[in-house]
Amino acid sequence: MSARSNPFEELERLFERMSRQFDEPSRMWASDGPLERWRSEFEEMAVDVVEHDDEFVVAVDLPGFEKDDVDIRVTDHTLRIEAEREEEFAEEDAQYLRRERRHESMHRSVQLPDEVDTDGVNARMKNGVLTVTLPKIETEDARSIEVE
């Protein structure tokens, strides 16, 4: 009697192999080579979304960004975060052998499961972590209606 293999295990191995193949080139792009400038285009903001009874709390990692570099927009079901900065390293009266400027731009949209009170949203930035608190809109409890 021959043992049959599980097709789901085979699919899992295929996905793992494909994932490793896609990860290898991305590590090469992160090196200090000619593709260094492309690295930031492929990076995403790490986002945690926590739902409480009356609000959503979104934490976003933005290392190296200041609060003035961040733009936050909220609609009923979407939180959009954009961060952009430009660094310039310069010394007066120096003969440069190498001078680098860096421009970094990131954006992320997060779909929220419920509507939020856009007027009550607040945000704070501490140690490169942006925390956005989005209060939920109060919904009326369902009430029973008698049929006449």
143: Cβ–Cβ under 8 A, 6 or more apart, which residues?
Answer: none
Spans of all domains in the chain: 8-43, 46-135
pLDDT for res 28: 46
pLDDT for res 42: 42
CA distances from 134 to 97, 98, 121 (A): 49, 45, 5
pLDDT by 10s per residue, the chain, length 148: 556 667 777 788 787 777 777 665 544 444 444 444 444 444 578 899 999 999 999 999 998 889 999 999 998 789 999 999 887 665 666 676 666 667 788 899 999 888 899 999 999 999 999 999 999 987 766 677 889 8
Q: What residue type is 136 in one-letter code? A: K
CATH of 46-135, one of 1.20.210.10, 1.25.10.10, 2.60.40.10, 2.60.40.790: 2.60.40.790
pTM of the model: 0.60
pLDDT for res 39: 45
